Amino acid sequence: MTGIFYGIGVGPGDPELLTMKAIKTLEKVDVIIAPKTEKKDGSVALSIASPYLKPAVEIVYQVFPMVTHFEQSPQSWQKNKEEILNLLNQGKNVAFLTLGDPMFYSTYIYVHRLLKNEAVPIKTIPGVPAFCAIAGRLEYPLVEGNDIISVIPATADAEKIKKVLAVSDNVVVMKVYKNFDEIVTELKKKKLADNAVMVSRCGLPDEECIYDIAQVKQVPNYLSTILARRSK
């Protein structure tokens, strides 16, 4: 019998933010797929989930290229896909860990696409996105009344970002390690910088919160998010 493939969102950093469904699944799966980058050892997602793993669980690290579209590096993705399928065909239940939510700017989305046409059952378990955790942590309302909120990757086209900022009451800016200075400049122009906050590594021991984003001189950590709202 083929095992079940689970995509599990572990939230932004605090292990207590995992859902009960995620915890119950982690406690019973046979294999954990821990995505990592080529440049760093270990997995942040795995460290978050570690309190809930059974002692005998098998840990498999997989490296995924940092690309915009997974089709750009088919060999690496295909190798990871075959490794997952081999585990599932052995009857093992496999959990793929992802920061935040599995369907939100996640590597899991591409893995899901690779597996959905295979004869394997897939279950996706949602998680808390970083911007929701930050809003709750700082008591920072994301939207109210008829506010319009936009979620913007700082890696997007500059002109597209300008247009979105022009019509949004509130914004969430992800991936701010890219084009940070340009993003801050545009937030200022659109009167969104005065009520902005940037949080890096939310829920992790070295979490950092910065309210005066214009004073940031170094490139922000990869796990950094800006929340901003227009001055009334």
Judge whether residue 197 has pLDDT over 80: yes
Q: Is 180 left (phi over 0), alpha (psi -120 to 50) or beta?
A: alpha
Q: Is 125 left (phi over 0), alpha (psi -120 to 50) or beta?
A: beta
Q: Give the chain's mean pLDDT.
A: 91
CB atoms closer than 10 angstroms to residue 143 = 12
Contact between 13 and 131 under an 8 Å Cβ cutoff? The reply is no
Q: Is 5 helix (H, G, I), strand (E, B) or coil?
A: strand
**Residue 73, pLDDT score:** 55
| Domains of the chain and any CATH numbers | 5-125 (3.40.1010.10), 130-229 (3.30.950.10)
**Gap between the Cα atoms of 75 and 80, Å rounded:** 9
Contact between 125 and 4 under an 8 Å Cβ cutoff? The reply is no
**Residue 119, pLDDT score:** 87
Q: What is the pLDDT of residues 19-71, one digit of tens each?
A: 999 999 999 999 999 988 765 667 899 999 999 999 999 999 998 766 555 55
Highest mean pLDDT among 40-44, 76-80, 96-100, 174-178: 96-100
- Compute φ and ψ for 22, nearest 5 degrees: -65, -45
pTM: 0.90
Q: Which residues sit opposite 100 in a β-bridge?
A: 11
Closest CA to 104 of 155, 174, 40: 174
Mean pLDDT of 105-126: 93
Contact between 198 and 216 under an 8 Å Cβ cutoff? The reply is yes
- In sequence order, the 6+-apart residues with CB closer than 8 A to the CB of 128 are 9, 11, 12, 17, 100, 101
